[in-house]
Structure 1
Amino acid sequence: MTVWVEVALQSHRSGDGSIGALADALQRVAAFAGVTPASTRFTTRDVPLKTPGWRLSIDTLDGARTLCAVQAEGTPISGFTRYRTFARPAGDDLAASLTEFAHADGALREPLDVPLPDSDAEREIARIEWRIDAGGADILATLETSSEGPPTLRLAAASVDGALDAVFRVAGEVIDAAPFFIAPDEAQESETAPVHAARLDLPRTATRHDAFVAIAASVAQQWFGNAAASHASLGDEHVHQLRVAQRRLKTLLKLFKSYVDDAWNTRIAPDLEWFGELLANARDWDVFTDQTLPAYAEADDSAERWQTLIAAADIKRRIARDAVRDALASKRYARLTLAFVEWLARFASQEDAEPVRLVSFAEKRIRKDYRRIARVPDLASLEAHERHRVRIHAKRLRYALEFFRSVTSRRTRKSTAQRLGELQTVLGEANDAAVAADRLAAIPEASDYQRGFARAWGAASARKDAQEGERLLRSMHRPRVKRSI
């Protein structure tokens, strides 16, 4: 059975809602030039399956129905899939056809042993296909659109030597020439709500390599999901969750330092830093405008004196958010996401030269990160920048516990993780106060009184939060990994 590799790209809808303009843009890509496209229109009906990694649909073209099953292999990665396909004509009795299909191959019996749903909801799909010779690798390029979501371009090739290079090379050419980006997960394509980090339950038998791929894929799901959700309108929570995804990714790379190679450092890291700085600036202005300044106004004897300053900060907040919005729509960002997915897909396909059990790796990393915060002196005795470093280490440990939750003790997942979150929040409030004082000092509309008020607030917050942070730190139980598994 042939295994396929596929890169999925998504586009904003063309101006008239059709895929014609996108098809014209693709014809100007070198790989598509001279290739005659084929257009079809059909309906499809998805059949829910309980078996993870499987999808089943009933496609109808010119009155003929086909059962199509897809089995994804390996960890799902946003924008990239390695899969096998199964297809069989369906007769008038769909239930009987499904039963025959399920027994046609041993691999199909369990996932397809399901009753057909009562719903007859179908989607109409417009499809344009190109068959491309990409330097020895045959690529099937499929541009599809429906009323359910934006147009999607899939570049698929049989998984042979050179196929991975070919599909990503053509994807890069497409991104350079047309308004396409790495596609988010299909479940998130039509969503506009912010996407939070999904809970990770890594198999206890997983290796270090398996864990890295699964965690990185989870980060990509949150990252690309929020980017797609924000296309209609970029809100403060989209910015926040994009920022969280970048922090989770940074923590992941700190935990798995040996996996960071030259390709990462040269092709991904510089643009990742550029994007991260834009997010950090926008998030800081959100916090300053929506939380810090209103708190100052409420604590002051005259809230009115702060309204002009809040309005001035809001302008700067909008400018910072516009910079993020422009970045998300840029070619630079599209190339960054493609490079990230390509790097992860290549890493996932590599053999694990030195398999290490997740349990052993997690225990070592968690112990090391815990010591970094447990052995610090009294937080109240530290300088502000030293407490900030403690906060960073606490945040990394909390993310590590989220990543490795399936191999940690129940008390670690509950009590220790909660204490770490509280510690991070307390020290974060002190850091926000310090950042706020700097930002306020840079706003021309701020008076000397307001600058002094912010400095005094920051100093009081630092003392109070350091004391509370010390209490939380010393009441924290040491995180434990379950060695019996």
Structure 2
Amino acid sequence: MSQEIELKLSLPRRALPALRRHPLFAAAEKQGNAVTLDNTYFDTPDLALKERKIAVRTRRQGRIQLQTIKCEASSAGGLTQRPEWEQPFTGAFDFSPVDVPKVRKVLQRQADALAPVFSTRFRRETRLYAPADGVRILMMLDTGDIIAGERSEPICELELELVEGRPQDLLVLARQLAVELPLLPDDSSKAARGFRLHLNAPLRPQRAETSRIAADQDPVEAFRTLAFACLRHWQGNVAGAAAGTDPEYTHQLRVALRRLRSLIRLFTPALPPAFVEDWSARLADNAAAFGAARDLDVLCDELLLPILDAGSRYRPDEAVAIAELAERAHGARKAAYDATRANIDLAGQGRQLLELTAALLDLPRNPLIDAADLGTFARIQLDALRKKARRRHTAAANGIPETLHALRIAAKRLRYAIEFFAPLLPSKQTEAFLQSLLHAQADLGFVNDIDIARARLAAWAAESADLRAAAAYVCGWHGPQCVKRSRRAVRALGRLLRGRRPWAD
């Protein structure tokens, strides 16, 4: 078995000439002529191998045929490591060289049922980059197609495969290339894309992963594990947000950046101050570009639409003014999404993803932190967040929107922290606590949405008495619900923040 370590970078076809002219690519030693690779991926009719994260592939390169087995990869910012077995293919599968008994047993059990599922055909240009002794990296440029029946999808990617050196060396090269080229780290393998195409499954926004930290990790190791999960969340939504086809991509991109910022804040005692300062600022600047679009989604779909659907409840003159406010809101939303697409520079996002991946891998060791017990660290941090949320709760008794907003933020940070540390906590009590916290946070989110909408509607209506009346009508229409939900949230949080803590068990 070999361990494949690679970094895959997607790029638009228009960038291919610039890549080929780039000094690092152009100066790297050609590894023969470009070749066309025909690959066929096999599985059972019910995709039993896919279910177990195993891929079986045959490859034809001229007269040479190879059989390759790959297993699930661990991934961090596009940097993947996966076990791989490759050997000549003679027309019949031979799984005897697979030296992981569990994998070999699955393959042998399913061998008779294997059939072609999809194929890939692409042209590969390979160069060897060797900048120093002990560092050798294959640069493989693939352009072609994935084909599943009548459906196809283009391939245009640069794979950097480590021959000799450290995984960080791949990131050094990628960051040098990304200074001038629009490269985006991409964890999605050709096999994963092929199965999605075979199943005709649409791409969907990616949501936050469940925490996978372990009690035997030290705080820096746990932070790195969680940060890489946040990176995958960010990376999985940025291209969709840039395309602008589904608002949920933008929402999930904002959530990923927000979770990363909360994570850095949570682990600040274990991290170098320079890392905390640098990445807190950079992530905040990145997230600031995407806020308006989501706020306008809420205004259009959750605040104005219910009123428009209940048109019989207001007078005709009010209907005209409310319809004008709705028209302005939809126009502002379109402009916000146009701006979001313009602001999401995929090349810039790719550079940040690569830079943060490198910074996470290079976090220095600290003997004191290495010796710290993660469970104790978690309880200390959770207690501090709970204490802060309790102070915000006391201040929010006045019902002023600003204090309710501060309470919402404190509750959200506590929720993120509990989700991050969840594997260390008793599951049943933690889940119940989280669900109650989530409901209260949703109630406070609605109150905050009304407050944001009130300011926006007032700005649009400033020049017209009819529009001012319509804006007041919209806010008043939601007023009783706003009061009810704010009071409910404050009561619920009072019980949660002063009751039993799951992490104290």
> Alpha-carbon deviation of 1:430?
1.0
**Contact between 2:261 and 2:283, CA under 8 Å: does it hold in 1?**
no
* Residues 1:208 and 2:219 aligned together: yes
CA separation in 2, counterparts of 1:266 and 1:419? 33
> Which residue number corresponds to residue 176 of structure 1?
179
> Alpha-carbon deviation of 1:359?
2.4
**Contact between 2:6 and 2:80, CA under 8 Å: does it hold in 1?**
yes
> Alpha-carbon deviation of 1:252?
0.9
Determine which of 348, 354, 361 is the counterpart of 2:377: 361
Q: TM-score, normalised by structure 1?
A: 0.84
CA separation in 1, counterparts of 2:485 and 2:374? 36
1:224-235 alignment, distance < 5 Å: 224-230=235-241, 232-235=243-246
> Which residue number corresponds to residue 88 of structure 1?
87
Given the superposition, is the C-alpha separation of residues 332 and 131 from structure 1 closer, same or farther in structure 2, using an over 3 Å criterion?
Answer: same
> Alpha-carbon deviation of 1:421?
0.6
1:73-222 alignment, distance < 5 Å: 76-82=75-81, 85-94=84-93, 97-99=94-96, 101-103=97-99, 108-115=100-107, 116=111, 117-126=113-122, 127-136=124-133, 137-145=135-143, 146-147=145-146, 148-158=153-163, 160=165, 163-164=166-167, 166-186=169-189, 187=192, 191-222=202-233
What code does the residue aligned with 1:133 have?
A: A
CA separation in 1, counterparts of 2:71 and 2:363? 21
CA separation in 1, counterparts of 2:476 and 2:258? 30
CA separation in 1, counterparts of 2:280 and 2:338? 23
**Contact between 1:8 and 1:79, CA under 8 Å: does it hold in 2?**
yes
> Alpha-carbon deviation of 1:452?
3.5
Given the superposition, is the C-alpha separation of residues 158 and 183 from structure 1 closer, same or farther in structure 2, using an over 3 Å criterion?
Answer: same
What code does the residue aligned with 1:418 have?
A: Q
What code does the residue aligned with 1:110 have?
A: K
> Which residue number corresponds to residue 409 of structure 1?
426
> Which residue number corresponds to residue 400 of structure 2?
383
Determine which of 26, 33, 39 is the counterpart of 2:26: 33
List per-residue Cα deviations over 1:45-85 (Å, max 9, x = no partner). Answer: 26637777x76543332343323345778x52131124565
Secondary structure, aligned partner of 2:115: coil
Q: TM-score, normalised by structure 2?
A: 0.81
> Alpha-carbon deviation of 1:395?
0.8
**Contact between 2:42 and 2:115, CA under 8 Å: does it hold in 1?**
no
Counting matched residue pairs gives 465
> Which residue number corresponds to residue 249 of structure 1?
260
**Contact between 2:241 and 2:247, CA under 8 Å: does it hold in 1?**
no
CA separation in 2, counterparts of 1:350 and 1:174? 32
> Which residue number corresponds to residue 18 of structure 1?
none
**Contact between 2:433 and 2:502, CA under 8 Å: does it hold in 1?**
no
List per-residue Cα deviations over 1:381-409 (Å, max 9, x = no partner). Answer: 25322221111111111122222222222
Secondary structure, aligned partner of 1:102: coil
What CA RMSD, in Å, does the superposition of the two structures yield over aligned residues?
A: 3.3
> Alpha-carbon deviation of 1:379?
3.6
> Alpha-carbon deviation of 1:197?
1.7
CA separation in 2, counterparts of 1:232 and 1:325? 7
Given the superposition, is the C-alpha separation of residues 449 and 50 from structure 1 closer, same or farther in structure 2, using an over 3 Å criterion?
Answer: closer
* Percent of matched pairs sharing the same residue: 22
CA separation in 1, counterparts of 2:128 and 2:269? 39
For structure 2, the residue ranges without an aligned partner over 5 or more in a row are: 44-48, 147-152, 197-201
Given the superposition, is the C-alpha separation of residues 86 and 93 from structure 1 closer, same or farther in structure 2, using an over 3 Å criterion?
Answer: closer
**Contact between 2:136 and 2:164, CA under 8 Å: does it hold in 1?**
no
For structure 1, the residue ranges without an aligned partner over 5 or more in a row are: 16-20
What code does the residue aligned with 1:119 have?
A: A
List per-residue Cα deviations over 1:401-457 (Å, max 9, x = no partner). Answer: 222222222333332111101110111111111111111122257622134345656
Deviates more, 1:364-373 or 1:189-198: 189-198
> Alpha-carbon deviation of 1:149?
5.0
Determine which of 296, 309, 330 is the counterpart of 2:325: 309
